[in-house]
Amino acid sequence: MTSPPTGRRSLLAFLVAPLAAPVAFVLATLVVQALRSGSAPTMRSALDLVIGVFVLGAPTAYAAALLAGVPTYLVLRKLGRVSRWALWAGGAAIGALGALTLTPWLRGGLFSIDFPWWTGALLGLVSAEVFWRVLGGSRHLRAGDESMTTR
């Protein structure tokens, strides 16, 4: 039987998972841009996108993880309800709330960024899945570890 995640694995999950949101946003944006224009974006525009998204997205994702993700995980863990579905629901809710919170700040005179709540929810779900995988959730489920599953 496998043991529950160690403090190191949990810390690693909290360090890596928030980066999944800006990475997913960049990749999705590049794919949509390529499909709309019929050609791949230039290397310069892709680099500008990466820089722009990471300057705003990474700190925002880490703030969301710290302010909402850590407490959510600790509550789920205390209740013995850590599961992929619970993490997905929590991640989606945190992402949607983050998008709703950021939207007024992303509208400006010089430029605006369209960031609907459902985009935030999807990015939160992606981060939750990365968190689950880094935490080793699937391994614990296969091993039958009750501390990682719903009861």
pLDDT digits (tens, 9 = 90+) for 23-63: 999 999 999 989 998 888 899 999 999 999 999 899 999 99
Which pLDDT score, from 0 to 100, does residue 112 have?
73
Residue with more model confidence, 109 or 86: 86
d(CA 43, CA 144): 47
Q: Provide the token pair at 73.
A: 């995980």
Asked if 8 and 36 touch (Cβ cutoff 8 Å), the reply is: no
Plot region of 39 (φ>0 → left; ψ -120 to 50 → alpha; else → beta): beta
Look at residues 37, 34, 91, 89 and name the one whose alpha carbon lies nearest to residue 61.
91
Residues 6+ apart with CB under 8 A from 126: 20, 21, 24, 91
Neighbours of 56 (CB within 10 A): 17
